[in-house]
Copies of this chain bind each other. A is one copy, B any other.
Amino acid sequence: MKSLNGPSATENSPTPVASATQIAYGAIRDMILTGELRPGEKLKIESLKDKLQTGASPIREALSLLVSDQLVERLDQRGFRAASADPKDFEEILRLRCALEEMALRQSIANADAQWEDNLVLAHHRMVRIDPKDISSYEDQHRAFHFALLENCNSPILLRYCAQLYDLNVRYRYLAGRSQNYGKRDVAREHREIMEAAVDRDADLAVERLLHHYQVTGSFLGQVAPE
């Protein structure tokens, strides 16, 4: 799973060597999202240091950055732990996500232009081409598709919040053990229909389909391991 909203989005560095902090950030983030680090689990600097083959400073800094994403909690003088997770939190995330993504999608469509439309169609195409068995790649493209919908909203902070909520949602999917299993739903069709409504500039329809998409997905995720 590639980190798509790291703290720094800078590219094209001549030497593509990420800093130790960046590497630690991405690795710990993925471990929390996939549930390898359980909710509420104490994140010991020593253990992470050993596992990630790096020093204490990059670990501490990465954990501090992850506090922003609400994936890590910091307890003064008592270290860090993975954010807790209970069904109540999931409901809040789902609700907020619907509200914020509706705003973002409406603004995106209001600002619609050819460039955005192209990117959206492209993102969709790339997603459907991926073999869904390749979880990690599919996860990346799925995420890219959803943000192709929203990214034209011209509201970076809103987008950032949507990204955070998206990730939190992904985490609950993994915690519920339903990382990719959507049952008998025709998810591919849902995606296509959302895209079509957006391309048609039909904001109401696109929003309706998007929210339905999320709410049905939400109902799939039963209770997760508390705390």
Q: Is A156 an interface residue (CB 8 A)?
A: yes
Q: Is A77 an interface residue (CB 8 A)?
A: yes
- A91-113 Cβ-contact flags toward B at 8 Å (1 or 0): 01101100100010000000000
Number of copies: 2
Cβ of A31 to closest chain B Cβ, rounded Å: 18
A68–B64 Cα distance when bound, in Å, is 9
Specify which chain B residues have a CB less than 8 angstroms from the CB of A165 in the assembled complex: 157
A36–B126 Cα distance when bound, in Å, is 47
Size of chain A's interface in residues, with CB distance under 8 A?
33
Question: Are the C-beta atoms of A93 and B157 separated by less than 8 Å?
Answer: yes
Specify which chain B residues have a CB less than 8 angstroms from the CB of A155 in the assembled complex: 92, 95-96
Q: 16 A-B Cβ contacts within 8 A?
A: A7-B67, A8-B75, A10-B75, A10-B76, A57-B57, A64-B64, A64-B65, A68-B68, A70-B157, A70-B160, A92-B158, A95-B155, A96-B155, A96-B157, A157-B165, A161-B161
Chain A residues in the interface with B (C-beta under 8 A): 7-8, 10, 13, 18-19, 22, 57, 60-61, 64-65, 67-70, 74-77, 92-93, 95-96, 99, 103, 155-158, 160-161, 165
